[in-house]
Amino acid sequence: MWYCSFVQNEKALATLKKYSTNVDLLNHVRAVSACLGYFAGMAGEDETFWSEVGILHGLVYDIFYDKPNQVVTDVLALEKLCKKQIHAIMAHGFGSLSDVEPNCYMEYTFIAVDQIAGFAVSTEGVRDLATIKEMFANKDCAIGTARFTDMCKKMGKDPDWVLRESLNAVNSIANDLVFHT
C-alpha cells in the first residue's frame, strides 16, 4: 500500500501552520495530500508535487475563504508556489470560490478526492466506506455528490473506484491524524 511520507512535505506543512493550527484543517489537508499522492503514483505522476498541493490548499479554504481571487493568488505566490500549484488550488474552488476552471487530470482528481477526504475524516476518526456512501446518498450532499461524480467522469474513473481508493489512501495515514477525544 502506498504511504505518503510527510517528511517530504514538511515545508508545505510549515507554510500552512504559519497561517493556521486548526487540527481539523490539518487532518483534512493531510487526508487530501495522501489521496493526491496515492493517485499521482498510480498515474505515474510526481507524488510529492501532488501531495504538496493537497496540503497547501488549506491556505485558501480556511484562512482566505472570503478573499478575492487575486488576494489568494498573491499569497500563494508570496509563499513561492509555482504557477501549476496555484492554478490547481484555485481551480479546486471553481464555481463557488474561484473562477479558475480545472483543466487537467490532477485538478479533476484533486476536486474529487477533496470531497472524499472531507467525508472520511471526522472529528472522531476515519469513517468506513459504508458510512461515506450513506453520506453521499443524503440529499443535503447533492451538490457535492454531483461535483464528485462529474470529476470522476472527467478522470475517466468509476466513482465507486475513486471512493474506495481514496479511502485506502486516507486509511494509510490514519495513525498520523489527531482526533478529538
Could you identify the residue written with the cell 500549484? 85
CATH number (domain holding residue 168): 1.10.3210
Question: Has residue 92 got a pLDDT over 90?
Answer: no
CB atoms within 10 A of CB 101: 11
pLDDT of residue 7: 42
Question: Has residue 147 got a pLDDT over 80?
Answer: yes
Question: Has residue 32 got a pLDDT over 90?
Answer: yes
Question: Has residue 111 got a pLDDT over 60?
Answer: yes
Go through 106-123 and write b for each residue having 16 or more CB atoms within 10 A of its CB, e for each that does not.
bbbbbbbbbbbbbbbbee
Q: What is the mean pLDDT of residues 75-103?
A: 83
Residue 4, in any domain of the structure: no
Cβ neighbors of 142 (< 8 A, separation 6 or more) are none
Q: What is the mean pLDDT of residues 22-30?
A: 86
Residue 25, in any domain of the structure: yes
Go through 128-155 and write b for each residue having 16 or more CB atoms within 10 A of its CB, e for each that does not.
eeeebeebbeeeebeebbebbeebbebb
Q: How many domains does the chain have?
A: 1
Residue 16, in any domain of the structure: no
Task: At 77, give phi and psi (nearest 5°).
Answer: -65, -40
Residue 1, in any domain of the structure: no
Residue 155, in any domain of the structure: yes
Q: For the whole model, what pTM was predicted?
A: 0.86
Determine the structural domain holding residue 49 and report its residue range.
Answer: 21-174
